[in-house]
Amino acid sequence: MGNNMKFTELDRYLFGQGTHYEIYKLFGAHPGTQRKKEGVFFAVWAPHAKAVSVVGDFNGWNPEVNVMKCDNDMGIYQLFIPKVREGDLYKYCITTQNGELLYKADPYGNYAEMRPGNASRVVNLEGFKWGDTTWLKNRQNFDPQKDAMSIYEVHPGSWKKHPAAHEDDPGFYNYREFAHALADYVKEMGYTHVELMGIAEHPFDGSWGYQVTGYYAPTSRYGTPEDFRYFVNYMHKNKIGVILDWVPAHFPKDAHGLADFDGTPTYEYADPRKGEHPDWGTKVFDYGKNEVKNFLIANALFWIQEFHIDGLRVDAVASMLYLDYGRENGQWVPNQYGENKNLEAIEFFRHLNSVVLGKHKGTVMIAEESTAWPMVTGKPEDGGLGFSLKWNMGWMHDFLEYMKLDPYFRKYNHHKMTFSTSYAYSENYVLVLSHDEVVHLKCSMINKMPGLGQDKFENLKAGYSYMIGHPGKKLLFMGQDFGQYQEWSEARELDWYLLGEESHQKLQNYVKALLAMYKKYPALYANDQNPQGLEWINADDASRSIYSFIRWSPTGRNNLLFVLNYTPVEREDYRVGVPKKKQYKLILNSKEPEFGGDVHKEQTVYKAVKKECDGREFSFAYPLPAYGVAVFQF
């Protein structure tokens, strides 16, 4: 980190303005030299502290040994301590205005003790040799609106585990082992990106990483910051993008964390009606405070700049945008116009997204926003929030409600599958079947399906086929691509043994075929934002619960016709209307033996004839099996 770790006037000014985008290079603990002595520079922001000292295993955790200097009225405390080494544990001991001592982990610390310990650990982030130059160069041309994106959502601690060596051994894979095992799987399946849950340091496994205490530290559960860099580097070498869950919406009240950091609300709103989430028992960041906005925006940039992350999925955006989110009357404060919008959070998002996407072309910012807030992916200058993509929770909800139904009742709910196409172009969407849908007694994907045995698998194949055919990027949570029976739990690994059973193996084969088709045909992704990209052939065949539509390619070549049957009734010559008197080649049939069916490819090319159907001049007939999916290329 060099010799000069002092904050300059410019550093202080920018931090006070909320625009010091590399502030993490000054705050925290940075190995360096001063007057030819090796040691560590420490810096922390504690504006209302009476005094701050660094305590650690190098001074017997004694607050009187290494007292920090506060050199201005901003509350920035600094100290160089010789002979402190990489790996040493430390905390800040903060003396509050009323004389209480608080022992806090470093808000800008880059590495932490393995839970249940919660001290920060000195680490040097310099010196890693990256090998992903080609990936980063190509990434600049990535366009999330026009390029393929199929995301595999993963919780590293429970994807796979080692057998426990002893009672307290969690059996976690190290980041490096995880890199090799995950890259192999993702390449075999054909996903383009992984999205990781719970990478930022957090105290409690059961929070899945959504209650963060170390925003600048990859969790030590799976190794060192260098190990995590190895993971990202290895993914990039294998042409796999890496997205992280990022949680600027709230933080936990753990004594060593950000809550009441200097004995006063430092990072959170002072008014508990704004500064606390009654639902989650957590604190809310003060988006009106420049130093807090700086902490968060610099943090987003930190992951992209220091760890080469390709994008952030921003958790719980709605809870930030609405002042009354999860609150009863009297529990919230309206804004200056008497409304329930958090104007400071809106401004924060516009600033965040403009800076991140402006500085790093080809990265993505994804909003998990569960309401109909307008223009989440609109440009800030047009009044939008500036995200690249938004999770489509409406589609997910309607889709699951429909798929759970007994096929007999689907005809009365036919519109649940078509409704989402009426707003598919209002935002840049990701269709998600995430971890949230397979926990808390909601059942795994396979167990949401009606029927028994093989019927569940047939339903799920038909469901996933619609997801691939529908406009929007794709996200699927781990375990759902092979029909995991149990709900997900962070405490155990996935039920990989199920792949020894034919039905699970064949479902996985089918998902692989869907993902391969998705990447191969631009019709399925390049027109996601163009209403001309999807054309319904028949959206109204409710009595038979069959849907047919075309995905048009931007070039007009290799267009795809989807025919999906959501009942167990076979239609021996289902006639479908088509736009042209052409040949239609069957490229995907869900009843192939490799997918668990018994229909061998008899005929693959169907010629349209002049016969009216679905209000069109031309049509052809095709034997559509029970729960059958057929995709034709023309």
Three-state secondary-structure class, residue 131:
coil
**What CA–CA distance (Å, rounded) separates 318 from 250?**
12
Give the helix/strand (H/E) hosting 40.
Answer: strand 37-45
Question: Any catalytic annotation for residue 315?
Answer: yes
Q: Distance of CA 432 to CAs 464, 467, 588, Å?
A: 11, 9, 23
3-state SS string for 189-243: HCCCEEEECCCEECCCHHHCCCCCCEEEEECHHHCCHHHHHHHHHHHHHCCCEEE
- Give the DSSP per-residue string, 156-190: HHHHS-PPPSSTT---PPPHHHHHHHHHHHHHHHT
DSSP state of 361: T
How far apart (Å, rounded) are the C-alpha atoms in residues 231 and 219?
13
> How far apart are the C-alpha atoms of 611 and 101, rounded to whole Å?
84
The three-state secondary structure class of 472 is: coil
R_g (Cα) of the chain, nearest Å: 27
Other beta carbons within 10 angstroms of residue 326's beta carbon come to 14
480 to 366, 439, 445, 483, 484: CA distances (angstroms): 22, 12, 6, 5, 6
Report which DSSP code applies to 490: T
Cα–Cα distance list, 183 to 197, 232, 243, 246, 432 (Å): 16, 10, 14, 22, 21
Distance CA 127, CA 265 (A): 37
Q: In whole angstroms, what is the distance from residue 251 CA to residue 69 CA?
A: 28
Q: Which of 195, 286, 315, 427 is catalytic?
A: 315
106 carries an active-site annotation: no
Q: Pick the catalytic residue: 368, 437, 458, 528?
A: 368
Contact criterion met (CB below 8 Å) for 79 and 69: yes
Which residue numbers are catalytic? 315, 368
